[in-house]
Amino acid sequence: MTGRVFIAAVLAALLAPALADEIPRAQRRSGYDAMSPQTRAMQDNESENPATLWVLDGEASWRKPEGEANKSCADCHGDASSMKGVAARYPRFDAARGKPVDIEQQINICRVERQKATPFAYESHELLAMTAFVARQSRGMPILPDKAAGAAKTVAEGQRLFTQRRGQLDLSCAQCHDDNWGRSLGGASIPQGQPNGYPLYRLEWQSVGSMRRRLRNCLSGMRAELWPVDAPEYVALEMYLMARAEGLRMESPAVRP
């Protein structure tokens, strides 16, 4: 090996982590693909999927009048079929607010502005139930990320956060989910970190949880400081993950180990 080639090889090795590439489109996989047949069956069959319990609660509150306006979701949106495809498009850039909004925030915007009711707390049963019910309507549809002018900035910010090293372990999201997906970490397989099943029932949580909960889970796993629960960073990451998963089929509410 000549000196120059050797130096080039060493440089390439040193630079490799910084140059982490996104997963090629043809290799994008839902976390479903790595699950056991039993867990897959649980997700596929509605009467076995525990997230159905949340979906049914969401369906009940869809028709229940709330707040000072005494209006239900159905009074404006009609049948839940009007929500078909919505979860596959969120988070979206809200031009009127000048910022991106994820599906949980959109539900709370409706509650505060249309129903004149108090917003649901993040990760509350009510919010998860409503999100699960809305997202259920998009099951099987391909993810269509927001391509509006305002969205690009947030997607870029999300990508920056995804590839930035953080926490005591000095890891970035990309180092696991772009560079090492499919390999093992402490006996568990590393998924690509695709957002196509949220909100989902995680067997480990014994509950339905949001994308935000998953992101907070990862942050604490990296021993990084958690952003406050309403921080814009989560929406930016969600938006980048949806752009990264363009075309993957929605599985909400999914089941994951």
Partner 1 sequence: MARALINVPAHAKKGDIIEIKALISHPMESGYRVGMNGTIIPRDIIHVFTCDYNGVEIFRADFSQAVAANPFMSFHTIATESGKLVFRWSGDKDFEATETAEIIVE
C-alpha angle 243/110/138, rounded to 5°?
40
DSSP class of residue 28? -
Q: Catalytic residue at 73?
A: no
Q: Which of 73, 173, 176, 218 is catalytic?
A: 218
Comparing CB distances to partner 1, the nearer of 28 and 125 is: 125
Q: How far is the CB of 53 from partner 1 (least distance, A)?
A: 4
Sorted by sequence, the CB contacts under 8 Å of residue 55 that are 6+ apart come out as 129, 132, 133, 136, 253
Q: How far is the CB of 63 from partner 1 (least distance, A)?
A: 16
Comparing CB distances to partner 1, the nearer of 48 and 225 is: 48
Q: Which helix (H) or strand (E) holds 184?
A: strand 184-185
Residues 54 and 110: beta-carbon distance below 8 Å: no
Q: How far is the CB of 52 from partner 1 (least distance, A)?
A: 6
Residue (of 196, 187, 192) closest to 174 by Cα position: 192
Q: How far is the CB of 50 from partner 1 (least distance, A)?
A: 5
Comparing CB distances to partner 1, the nearer of 39 and 106 is: 39
Residues 93 and 154: beta-carbon distance below 8 Å: yes
Q: How far is the CB of 57 from partner 1 (least distance, A)?
A: 7
Comparing CB distances to partner 1, the nearer of 17 and 50 is: 50
Name the residue type at position 118: T
Sorted by sequence, the CB contacts under 8 Å of residue 211 that are 6+ apart come out as 102, 195, 198, 199, 234, 238, 241
Q: Name the one residue in this structure whose structure tokens are 């929605």.
A: 250
Q: Produce one character per residue of 3-42: b if its CB has 16 or more CB atoms within 10 Å, e if not.
A: eeeeeeeeeeeeeeeeebeebeeeebebbbebbeeebeeb
Q: How far is the CB of 55 from partner 1 (least distance, A)?
A: 10
Comparing CB distances to partner 1, the nearer of 91 and 197 is: 197
Q: Report CA dihedral (207, 212, 213, 215) to the nearest 10 degrees.
A: 130
Residues forming the site for partner 1 (CB under 8 A): 42, 45-48, 50, 52-53, 56-57, 203, 206-207
Comparing CB distances to partner 1, the nearer of 94 and 123 is: 123
Residues 111 and 119: beta-carbon distance below 8 Å: yes
Q: Which residues participate in catalysis according to the annotation?
A: 218
